[in-house]
Structure 1
């Protein structure tokens, strides 16, 4: 039996769709947002929750997808404590109760933000790089990783840590969806000069496939795995790929990069400009070699599936 947390989220719902309902339990904050035949339990992730012992009955593996997600320009007075309550203390509370109930393995969906926000071109993050989070979300995930690995030493719990890059796929929201919406308009876009950065992305299908591999793989124990599509793109190439799968004309105006930087300073969006112009790459060779795993979906197929779902939603809307 597998317990999935965050089953109503983008990743959790895709993971449920690939597994057999008969062998699943799903922990969600609100069951109205989940459509599944498996056993559903309503509760939250926090340091204070005392989970009913039956939550872990027959459960051998927990896949912990639930989190307080990253929010741009978080306006809380103390965002770090808010992230820690769910992503660090809440995770450890869940893991301790799980191991006390006899759960064998705990798969933690972390974030590449544990490594940092950017990389020099062609110098990707590696699985054994020092943790270097730069924001409260990344720090909370980093602290959870450290404490889970300590718990593994204390108790024998098999901990598996997965750090995804930007995840996309059918139904994705946020920046990826916003960019696809722009490309779908078929208007010229100002990315012609952003050709020498590199970003690692991961389709939700590839991430789900890796998670499923880690559920019972003997070599996954107490390891950290970075994951991507194993094909990095510049901002300009990403836009070209989107235009291709959307079957839209695509013209990119070569706006010089210093214009972006100046505009970012003027409007207070330097962090957004940095992500647009900068690189964030990951080296997944450790993941592939340790698990004998390769991403089953190409980036082109991932973009095509995302575009198909995007267009269907637009037609309905």
Structure 2
């Protein structure tokens, strides 16, 4: 089976390529950095997995048009080439943020989309274009909406939490009660590979998430258990935290409004649809086991 992957040099791309190759598949990385990709795109393959995109910029320094040029316009261009080719399947890696920046309940695929950021809006417009096109017979399209992806080598908020616990610092946001979904890179790769192998899975939108959400406090406890450190959870008043993040929005402090939201908001994503299509009750790796793998990688990198 031959697979074309854009965004192959990124965290997801590198791990997915390795996983698919271990499953006996042939992978062709495709760079989209200049217009030559149109001539370099193979016209025949079993699947095209479009990972390349502009990620959400937490420093808020990116121009809004950049998101639409990359996440929408480039996706439309490569999707049009897919429609003209003999490639069978098209995977577009969107995001749960394409439909909901916040959620009070459990996020499912048919939610009424209300993205607030240029990142989410650009992803949604690409989704809408793909879903509104007539699909030639024999082809399938999959809109993949992953939640927060993690794994060895991936930085971000998990690494920030790791450093707090590693240094023996207290976690000052324990007063924020939340539940969050995570997605291990191994479960992501398993689901993509399973879709490729099962021809009876229908085209459509699929959330990708691990089976069980965790609170940030539970995540802190998990990190502490891996590091064999004492858990230090401090219930600092939310009012004081709000004052600190306002300063962080102006000065380069470790905590600002965007980071506070990511660390403390509830964001639970349902993976029931994809599991139903795959005919499974549980993903191969539990939420806790996947997070332990990621945490252990931080530990090894810092040893």
Q: TM-score, normalised by structure 2?
A: 0.90
1:118 pairs with 2:107? no
Q: Distance in 1 between matches of 2:174 and 2:156?
A: 23
Q: List per-residue Cα deviations over 1:14-58 (Å, max 9, x = no partner).
A: 101111276111113xxxxxxxxxxxxxx427xx55611x53143
Give the C-alpha shift of residue 165 in structure 1.
0.6
Q: Secondary structure at the match of 1:220?
A: coil
Deviation by residue 1:215-240 (Cα, 9 ceiling, x = unmatched):
24334332111121121111111111
Match of 1:51, SS state, is: helix
Q: Report what 1:299 is aligned to.
A: 287
- Report the Cα distance in structure 2 between the residues aligned to 1:203 and 1:12, rounded to whole angstroms: 14
Q: Does 1:273 align with 2:267?
A: no
Structure 2 SS opposite 1:218: coil
The residue number in structure 2 matching 1:313 is 301
For 2:172 and 2:296, how far apart are their aligned partners in 1? Answer: 24
For 1:300 and 1:276, the matched residues in 2 are separated by 17
Contact 2:58 2:258 in 1 (8 A): no
Name the structure 2 match of 1:248.
229
Distance 2:88 2:120 in 1: 26
Does the CA contact (< 8 Å) of 1:65 and 1:108 recur in 2?
A: yes
Correspondence 1:260 to 2:261: no
Does the 8 A contact of 2:89 with 2:141 survive in 1? yes
Contact 1:115 1:125 in 2 (8 A): no
Aligned residues: CA RMSD: 1.9
Counterpart position of 1:34: none
Cα distance in 1 for residues equivalent to 2:207 and 2:37: 32
Q: 2:175 is matched with which residue?
A: 193
Separation in structure 2 between the aligned mates of residue 142 and residue 180 of structure 1, nearest angstrom: 32
The CA distance in 2 between the partners of 1:180 and 1:59, in whole Å, is 41
Deviations 1:59-115 (A, max 9, x none): 120111111111113324xx3321111111101111111221211110111101012
Question: Given that residues 56 and 98 in structure 1 are in contact (C-alpha distance below 8 angstroms), is that contact kept between their aligned partners in structure 2?
Answer: no
CA apart distance, 1:244: 1.1
| Mapped contact 2:107–2:270 kept (Cα < 8 A) | yes
Aligned equivalent of 2:273: 286
- In structure 2, do the counterparts of structure 1 residues 49 and 124 end up closer, same or farther at CA, with 3 Å as the change threshold? farther
Listed as ranges, the gaps of 5+ residues in structure 2 are: 250-255
User: Which runs of 5 or more residues in structure 1 are unaligned?
Assistant: 29-42
TM-score (structure 1 length as normaliser): 0.86
Other structure's SS at 1:91 match: helix
Q: How many residues align?
A: 292
Single out whichever of 1-10 and 211-220 deviates more from structure 2: 211-220
Deviation, 1:292, is: 1.6
CA distance in 2, matches of 1:266, 1:17: 43
**Match status 1:230 vs 2:205:** no
Q: Which residue of 1 aligns with 2:30?
A: 27
- Confirm or deny: 8 A CA contact 1:166 1:202 kept in the other structure: yes
C-alpha separation between the residues in 2 aligned to 1:49 and 1:69? Answer: 23
Distance in structure 1 (CA, Å) of the matches to 2:30 and 2:208: 24
Name which of structure 1's ranges 123-132 and 67-76 shifts more when overlaid on structure 2: 67-76
